[in-house]
Amino acid sequence: MTTTTEPTSAPMAYGRKRWLAVPLAVLAAVSVGFSAACASDSGTNAQASTTSTSARYWQTTAGQLEMRRQAIEDITAFVVHKGYSLINHSEPKYKDLSVIMSAKLFKDGKTADMWFKVVFAAAGADSVTSIGDPKSALTEEEL
């Protein structure tokens, strides 16, 4: 009886080891595949985030229109505070998070053209806000 139990227990022990070896091999293969999938997903997400950062709100048409509107309001308030009247303004030039535009001003019967720069900060995913007063007397590099 001992001889019959030994051969049956030996194959069972071998069968158990083999039974454990197969799931471990499958588990290893699945984990390698999962790791590869995660690595490729993170590459895709990094690429997607690069794409989304290249089209930030202030670079879109809506963002530039908002920056233009705020720049005109800020320049108008600034020149009126200084005692001038704003006759008209040029189309803006966009440079990163800033707007550069000229304005025709009137004071004491004289007109003058001045360039202004209004600096902005991104204020969320779909908003910008101007920072400080418009800067005038710009250098040629700033134009």
Query: Residue 12 above 90 pLDDT?
Result: no
Give the residue-averaged pLDDT of 68-96: 94
Average pLDDT, the chain: 75
Residue 40 sits in the same domain as residue 63: no
pLDDT band at 83 (very low <50, low <70, confident <90, very high): very high
| Counted domains in the chain | 2
CA atoms of 89 and 100, how far apart (whole Å): 11
Residue 96 sits in the same domain as residue 123: yes
Residue 75 sits in a domain whose CATH number is 3.10.450
- Residue pLDDT, tens place only, 67-81: 999 999 999 999 999
Residue 66 sits in the same domain as residue 115: yes
Domain boundary among 9, 33, 54: 54
> Do the beta carbons of residue 102 and residue 116 sit within 8 Å?
yes
Residue 131 sits in the same domain as residue 67: yes
Residue 38 sits in the same domain as residue 81: no
Q: Where are the alpha helices (DSSP H) in 55-122?
A: 61-81
Residue 49 sits in the same domain as residue 67: no
Provide the domain limits for residue 125: 57-142
Q: What percent of the chain has pLDDT over 90?
A: 50
pTM of the model: 0.59
Q: Return the number of other C-beta atoms located less than 10 Å from residue 75's C-beta.
A: 25
